[in-house]
A and B are shown apart, each in its own frame.
Chain A
Amino acid sequence: MFWQKDIETMDRKDLRKFQLDCINKQIALAKKSQFYKDKLAKIGELKSLDEVTKLPFTTKQDLRDSFPYGCLVTDLKDVVRMHSSSGTTGNPTVVFHTKDDIANWANISARSMYCAGARSTDVFQNTMGYGLFSGGLGFHYGGERLGMMTIPIGPGNSKRQLWFMQHFKTTVVHILPSYALRLSNTVKELGIDVKKDLNLRIFFIGAEPHSEAMRKKIEELYNVKAYNSYGLSEISGPGIAFECQCQQHLHIWEDYVYPEIVDPKTFEPLPDGEEGELVLTTLQRQAMPLMRYRTKDLTRIISEPCACGRTHRRIARITARTDDMMIINGVNIFPIQIEKTILSIPEAGKNYVIELIDHNCMDKLRIKVEINNDTFKGTLKDLEKLQNKLISELKQELDVTPIVQFVEAGSLPVSEGKAKRVIDLRAKK
């Protein structure tokens, strides 16, 4: 039942001792970086985990500001991989990995998949994006580590996805929840009987917030058990917290990260059970240790023991974020990226709204841009040219293709200070 029984069921007292030891090692390591050198100068060895609050917080902005190598603590010769966020309007957040980092990450990914019931006899189809995005490669390495035959098919092309599932008798799938819903349309179209024609048993759904109702729907549509997965690229990627077969909240791997919940306004630590911002300190990272990284994800820690016997505490499904980041098809998007892109095209109006909509069962961005009366040329051809320009520039910036619509000048709410420009029109999933 366990991938690493000794670690997964470690006595909590021992686990805390292990965490303290790891944190002290991570502090010593972090001091080698340009970014933490001064910040940690006065921090000595911590005597207990209660002293973790002495450590400085780290934010996404800090990572951007220390681009490209400010947070790196090792020689480049020891770095074997990097992952990066999308975007060209500001510095991306870049995360570096040594050989050990990749191995440790593969190990917790394998552990996550194993605890959901995946075994080396399984055939694993990974429909997440490969590349700079950490979702695809993270579980690819985890799947191989676990010993599954891993199909690196990547996203899209629904007919091909189903063809692979049929011919290679795929049993385990890693998929965006919204894509799982869309793919089911193709299942129906092709007249595939999920019970007779497919061998599916486990879906890992993640990289996008989703509800319990959506999980149930995916389980029904594919006749599988679906498990929620949590992760973030700044730490490594998917597999940081995972549901066991009890499907009651996600075990956060406490030998890999030290979790805290803080009040999102005062940043004071909150007790287990109270909702706040999840803050993570890395315990094993070699290339880029992070101290008290503010995830901006809102959740709570569940310290009651789980029926599965694992002693690592659990976090609840992420309910919301403390910032304005949106997650569309697994890609993190900030409204400021959209604003900068629109403002860089003078022929477009300056007022816009961002709508999140359901489009063919997938989450989609719809951006309404006011027409610019001063540059209106009076032909549909010119409008379409401008529309295509906006779409292609936005796609380049965001890594997702939005819908762009023009509306009359003056028809959108005028921005006074920080206008609310993001509207979520998605049906509650």
Chain B
Amino acid sequence: MAYHISVFLENNPGKLEKITTILSENNINLRAMSLASSGDFGVMKLLVDDPDKAFDVLKENKIAVTKRQIIGVVVDNVPGSFNKLLLTLASNKINIEDCYGFLLSNGTTAAIVLEIENYPDTAKLLCDKGFDVLSSEKIYKY
């Protein structure tokens, strides 16, 4: 099982910096992120190299934080590859709660991070359909 961490953020100067300072001081590497805002406040999802440690240090600093399960999928860096992934999910009526991606260092592939609720078998389904589903070790360190 792979996780990213989700933190509560006020939409004010310095609030995000407070989070990144804690991560930096604890030598936690940030790999990717996504932000959802409701205007005055929002929720930030952070993909880090050590989510358990990140969760603990943020919790110690009285930050509202949770770990949420994710699935990492590698897709080719070519037109239509992300679309193919989405088609597979849609045709199986799987709804995406949150999603973001980042290009991998080889430049020819990208990692897509999916947060999916109420469908525990998604990873297996994607494997069966031939997608390259990443182990948690790979998502954190790839």
Using a CB–CB cutoff of 8 Å, the interface residues on chain A facing chain B are 371-373, 376-381, 383-384, 387, 405-411
Which B residues from 1 to 25 make CB contacts under 8 A with A?
Answer: 5-8, 10, 15
Cβ-neighbour of B10 out of A380, A387, A408, A410 (below 8 A): A408
Decide: A383 and B43 in contact? CB cutoff 8 A. Answer: yes
Most chain B CB atoms below 10 A, which of A378, A379, A405, A406: A378
Residues of A within 8 A of B121 (CB): none
Most chain A CB atoms below 10 A, which of B7, B8, B66: B8
Stretch at the interface among B34-42, B73-81, B101-109: B34-42
Residues of B within 8 A of A407 (CB): 10, 41
Tell me whether chain B's interface is mostly helix, strand or loop, or mixed: strand
Decide: A380 and B64 in contact? CB cutoff 8 A. Answer: no
Q: Which residue of A lies closest to B66 (CB)?
A: A378
- Is residue B62 within 8 Å, beta carbon to beta carbon, of the partner chain? yes
Q: Given A383-B43, A407-B41, A376 and B62 touching (CB < 8 A)?
A: no
Q: How many A-B residue pairs have CB under 8 A?
A: 56
Can you list 7 A-B pairs, Cβ within 8 angstroms, ordered by A?
Answer: A371-B8, A376-B8, A379-B68, A379-B98, A407-B41, A409-B62, A411-B10
- Is residue B128 within 8 Å, beta carbon to beta carbon, of the partner chain? no
Q: Which residue of B lies closest to A405 (CB)?
A: B40
Residues of A within 8 A of B37 (CB): 380
Decide: B6 and A410 in contact? CB cutoff 8 A. Answer: no
Q: Assuming A376-B8, A378-B6, A406-B10, what are 6 further A-B pairs, CB within 8 angstroms? A: A377-B66, A378-B5, A378-B67, A378-B68, A379-B98, A383-B43
Q: On chain B, which size bracket covers the interface?
A: 20 to 34
Decide: A408 and B63 in contact? CB cutoff 8 A. Answer: yes
Residues of B within 8 A of A378 (CB): 5-7, 43, 65-68
Using a CB–CB cutoff of 8 Å, the interface residues on chain B facing chain A are 5-8, 10, 15, 36-38, 40-43, 59, 62-68, 97-98
Cβ-neighbour of B64 out of A371, A381, A384 (below 8 A): A371
Cβ-neighbour of B6 out of A379, A406, A409 (below 8 A): A379
Instruction: Give chain B nearest CB distance to A353 CB in angstroms.
Output: 14
Decide: B62 and A410 in contact? CB cutoff 8 A. Answer: yes
Residues of A within 8 A of B6 (CB): 378-379
Residues of B within 8 A of A379 (CB): 6, 43, 68, 97-98
Decide: A383 and B38 in contact? CB cutoff 8 A. Answer: yes
CA distance A405 to B38 in the complex (A): 10
CA distance A377 to B98 in the complex (A): 14
Instruction: Give chain A nearest CB distance to B60 CB in angstroms.
Output: 11
Q: Given A378-B43, A379-B6, A408 and B36 touching (CB < 8 A)?
A: no
Residues of B within 8 A of A383 (CB): 8, 38, 41, 43
